[in-house]
Copies of this chain bind each other. A is one copy, B any other.
Amino acid sequence: MPRQITAFSNPLVKQARGLRDKKERRREGMFLAEGLRILTEARDAGFLPVRVFFAAGQRHPLLDRLVVETEAAGGDVIETTADILQKISGKENPQVVMGLYSAFDTDLAKLDRTGADLWFVAQALRDPGNLGTMLRTGDAVGAGGLILVDECVDPFSVEAVRASMGALFTQRIAAAGWADFITWLRSGPGELVGTSLNTDQDYQVARYGKPCFIFVGNEAQGLPKDYAQACDALVKIPMFGKADSLNAAVAAAVMAYEVVNQWRR
């Protein structure tokens, strides 16, 4: 049976709220996901929350199933008020359910590249929405996951989890510095395809081998020159307007669909 918490001062409420902060996530080894849709995606991918908070009086078959399965797995189910959910989420109109999950191991050495033909690699990514959107696109194109190179925004931030729409739980995530990444990459099969403005190679003319690692750079700077030089191919998405670049998550998606479209021909 769910237990009830109605006090703002309850330490579990404070802990959950604290997970909006990166340092707290590191310290607790947990992260926060919000909303029945994302928690159901997580469940379908085999992940149940360590703890779930939901608004008293809410009934939904998916919520009921989540509660039962979380309890059966030894998780903690807490019925609470809309005000407390608002406090945890920091949003005026919070989701009616939130889950705390154990953070995933992001050790690149443990990533099995044979699990998929396509992978995203992002360098110094700054925007959590872009990161989450890349995970969501990765799921859509059947990619294996996202490798974060150098210092990137935290994939377990609330914003990234939200933008991923649950793909955080279906895509693998790994993180590594550039030197470790390129060593890992060259220790097995794979083609590193960088997107760049400094090439004449049209992204539709290039041909992509498997596994293909689509590499996008920082939102403002693009790929560092030496990283670009280490790529097996550098390709350019053509621009027909006044702007000289696409949003990083958009560029990754346009590239990924070109690759999978070539493969399905």
Contact = CB atoms under 8 A, between A and B. Distances in A.
What are the 5 closest A-B residue pairs judged by CB atoms, nearest first? Answer: A142-B240, A139-B241, A139-B243, A250-B253, A133-B247
A255 to B, nearest CB: 10
Count of identical protomers in the assembly: 2
A257 B260 contact: no
B41 A242 contact: yes
B204 A247 contact: no
A45 interface: yes
Contact of A243 (B166, B242, B257): B166
B246 A140 contact: yes
Given A253-B253, A254-B254, A261-B204, A163 B241 contact: no
Contacts of A163: 247
A137 interface: yes
Interface in A232-253: 237-243, 245-247, 249-250, 253
A246 B44 contact: no
B142 A246 contact: no
Contact of A240 (B136, B239, B253, B260): B260
B243 A167 contact: yes
Interface in A74-97: none
Interface residues of A, number: 38
A142 B136 CA distance: 26
A63 interface: no
A50 interface: no
A140 B246 CA distance: 7
Interface in A209-265: 237-243, 245-247, 249-250, 253-254, 257-258, 260-261, 264
A163 B241 CA distance: 16
Nearest to A256: B254
A246 B163 CA distance: 10
Contacts of A41: 242-243
Between A165, A241, A249, A253, the greatest number of chain B beta carbons within 10 A of the residue's beta carbon is seen for A241
